[in-house]
Structure 1
Amino acid sequence: MSNGNDMPVCIRGETYPSVNAATEAFGLKRGSISSYLHRYGHLDGVGLGYASPERNKTPRNKTPVTIHGAEFPTIQAVADALGVNYQGLVRTLNRPMTPKKSDRLLQLVIAWMGRFEPPPVVDPSTVRAFARPSAAQ
C-alpha cells in the first residue's frame, strides 16, 4: 500500500519522486506543498512567496494619487512628502472626507508645494546692515 509521500510531484516542470524529495529541494515543509496543491490545484507557485512573478503581475500599490491638484505616484509618496502617517492617510482616503480633513490636506499640500518655489531675489542695495551696540555702551 502506498501513502501520499511516495507519489511523484511536479513543480514548475521538474518532477520529484516524492513530496519529501520536493521539500528537500525547495527547503519547504511538507505542509506547504500539500496545502498549496489543495488550494490552487498545481504547484507552479509553491516556494516563491509573496515576491513571486505570478502575484506581482498587477502592482496594486502603484496607483497614482491626486490631492487638491498635486499628483503623486503612490500613497506612500504622499505620506512621505506631506509628513503624515501612511496608515492614517490610507484611512482618510478610503472614507468620506470631512471638510476639516480636506482643509488639513490642502494646507499640507500648499506647504509642500511652497518648498519647491525659488526664494525671492533680494537686491543687495536695499539690504541694510545692522550694527550691534558694543558692550561698552
Structure 2
Amino acid sequence: MVLILQVNSNISQLQATYPNLAHVCNPFSALPDYTYQTNNCTANTIRIGNIPKILEVFTCWDANNETRQEGQFISSNDFKKVEAYASSIENLLNVYPGMENLVQCQSVKDAFSKIIGRHSKPWKRSACMAWAAMVLLLIVMVILVLVWAA
C-alpha cells in the first residue's frame, strides 16, 4: 500500500517530463479504512501484474535472440526480479479477498475457540507452562536489575 503510494508519487513528479506515464493501480481505499476493493482501479492505471509487460521493452537482453539491444537500460536480472516481485504481489492481491473473508468468518473463529477451549488440554497445559516460565523469567530479571542497580 505504502509502496504503491510512493511509486505513484514518483510517477506524478515524472509526468511533467513524460506525460504518457500511467499510475500504478492502488486497490485499497484511502485512510482510515484501507479496505481492499478489486474494482478500485481506473482505466488509466496499470495493474501490478502488468508492470513486467510494460518494462519488458526496456530490458537489455532480447529473450528470443539472447542478444543485447541498443539503447535499453534495464538488465535482464533486474527485470526478472521485477517480474517475480510483481507476480508475487499480484498473487497476494488475488487471494486477499478470500483471506479477508476467512478472517472475518465467525464460524472459523468459533471452530478455533472450540478447539482451543475444549479439545486441546495438552495445548492449554503447555500454554500455562510457557506463561509460568515467562513470569518466572520476569521475576528473575527484576531481581537481577535491582541487584545490579544496588
**Which structure dedicates a bigger proportion of its chain to helix?**
2
CA radius of gyration, larger in: 1
Q: 1 or 2 for the larger relative contact order (CA 8 Å, sep ≥6)? A: 2
TM-score w.r.t. the length of structure 2 is 0.27
**Which structure dedicates a bigger proportion of its chain to strand?**
1
